[in-house]
Structure formats: C-alpha cells, structure tokens
Amino acid sequence: MIKAVLFDLDNTLIDFMKVKRTSVDAAINAMLAAGVKLKKKNATKILYGIYGKYGIEHQQIFQKFLTAVLGKIDYKILAEGIVAYRKTQAGILQPYSDVVPTLKKLRRQRLKLAIVSDAPRMRAWLRLVDMGIQNLFDAVVCFEDTGKYKHTGLPFKRALKLLKLKPAQCLMVGDWPERDIVGAKKLGIRTIFARYGATKKIRKSGADFEIDSVKGVVDVVKKVQ
C-alpha cells in the first residue's frame, strides 16, 4: 500500500525555468540600464554561458558576469541586478495551478508528502515558503542533506529514513528522468514522470507511470493501492 508521495520541486511543483528566465531577463535589463554597455542579446548569451559552466543555481552568477564583461565587480550595478532579479522572482513564483489542491487531496487520504530536490537547501525552502506550501510536507531533502545528487539514490534513501517507510510504500514524481526516475528506481521506489514539466522532449522516461498534470498523481495512487 502507498503511504507517501515524494515530489521533485523545480519543474514538478513550480515552473522553475519560466521563473528563472523572467527573473534573469529583469536582472539583465537592470544591469544594462545601470551602466553595462552591451547589447541585450550579447549580455544574455554571456550570462547563460556562465550558467552553463557553473550550474543554474550558482549563487555568484552576477558577480561572474560583471567580472567577465567589466573586468571587475561594480557593486552598484550588481545590486541593481540582484534587486531586480529578487523582486521579479517574488512577484511570479507560484506553484502550477493544480499543485495545492492535489497536495491537500493527498493529505486528506492520510498520505505523507516529501520533497526530494537537488537544489541548495536555502533556495528550496525559500521557494516553498514563497509559495505558501512549506507546511504540507513531512520531509524536505535537499542537496546538503547527503552531498549527492538524486541519480545516486542517496537523497531518496534519506527521505525514506525520515518518513520511516519502505521503498514499496512510496511513489516519486519528477520531471528529470536521469535523476528523478533513475535515482528512485535504484531503491525500488515506483516512479511517475511529470511530462508537463520536462524542459526537453523525452521519448522514453523509464518511469512506471506518466502524467500530463500534477493532479494525475491522485489517479496513480488509486491505481496502485
């Protein structure tokens, strides 16, 4: 019997890439207006090139951008970019429309809920609190909890320990097959591919189930009970 549903966070509960793109765009506009003398197209290419090198969650991204284009960090320009980024993100950070009703429905069925994310702990918690869904989860596992990414299976092992459950009692929902599906399956957790959140076309997810909306999780739970 299923007793818990584990969720990835970014692009499974929130449209993370939409939030990221919109916030970065605002930051670039602010830094250009503050004195970076580049065409926006070139600035965008340089910034995303840095993201590609250091990772989409890199916390010194604007510092590296300014060092690359100015040869130094201009702190006035840096502050303009960071403030624009944060204000924009705070204004648009919302869960997918079906997320809250689905999570509440699962809790009414006395299922435990957990987050298993490769995001840094502080970033993950800020997103959860910004969206007002932080109290719906019994466990939140982030990168710092194991120092390993999900494809290793260790974050899932940590989640199972916190929930005091066995793999066969859980379902994992995620949009990234190479991490969410592969890692969960290593422990014997049945998996659900969040097709709606995938940032690229996935022909074979390798998941046990696939859904086009997060509310599809409820149907999967009924099916496997």
Three-state SS across 93-120?
Answer: CCECCCHHHHHHHHHHCCCEEEEECCCC
Specify the pTM: 0.86
Long-range contacts of 66-71 (CB under 8 A, 24+ apart): 66/31, 66/36, 69/36, 69/38, 69/43, 70/36
Is the domain spanning 4-15+94-224 CATH 3.40.50.880? The answer is no
Q: For the chain, give every residue range classified as CATH 3.40.50.1000.
A: 4-15+94-224
Rounded to an integer, what distance in angstroms lies between the CA atom of residue 158 and that of residue 116? Answer: 9
pLDDT tops 90 at residue 17:
no
Closest by CA position to 14, among listed 103, 111, 85: 103
Is the domain spanning 17-92 CATH 1.10.150.520? The answer is yes
Residues 6+ apart with CB under 8 A from 137: 113, 114, 115, 128
pLDDT tops 90 at residue 206:
yes
Other C-beta atoms within 10 Å of 149: how many?
A: 14
Mean pLDDT of the chain: 95
Bridge-based pairing state of the strands 4-7 and 209-211: unpaired
pLDDT at 142: 97
Per-residue model confidence as pLDDT tens digits over 72-112? 999 999 999 999 999 999 888 899 999 999 999 999 999 99
Rounded to an integer, what distance in angstroms lies between the CA atom of residue 38 and that of residue 58? Answer: 22
Q: For the chain, give every residue range classified as CATH 1.10.150.520.
A: 17-92
